[in-house]
């Protein structure tokens, strides 16, 4: 599963969350996935340059 797919699944789960605590926890996980992916892409881009 790609980071983008994980992000989408976490966002969908967050929107369907039954309470604010679950919503925020899932949103934080989705944000972490997005940031980790961005750091990896930045690293790859800097090595390619």
What is the reported pTM? Answer: 0.78
- For 26, how many CA atoms within 13 A lie in the half-sphere containing its CB? 18
- Per-residue pLDDT of 1-48, as tens digits, reads 999 999 999 999 999 999 999 999 999 999 999 999 887 777 767 777
Q: Which residues contact 10 (CB under 8 A, 6 or more apart)?
A: 26, 27, 29, 30, 33
How do the domains of the chain map onto residue ranges?
Answer: 3-48
Torsion of CA 15, 18, 19, 22, to 10 degrees: -70
């Amino acid at each position: 599963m790609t980071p983008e797919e994980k992000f989408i699944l976490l966002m969908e789960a967050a929107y369907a969350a039954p309470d604010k605590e679950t919503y925020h926890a899932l949103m934080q996980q989705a944000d972490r996935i997005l940031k980790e992916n961005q750091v990896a892409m930045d690293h790859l881009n800097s090595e390619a340059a």
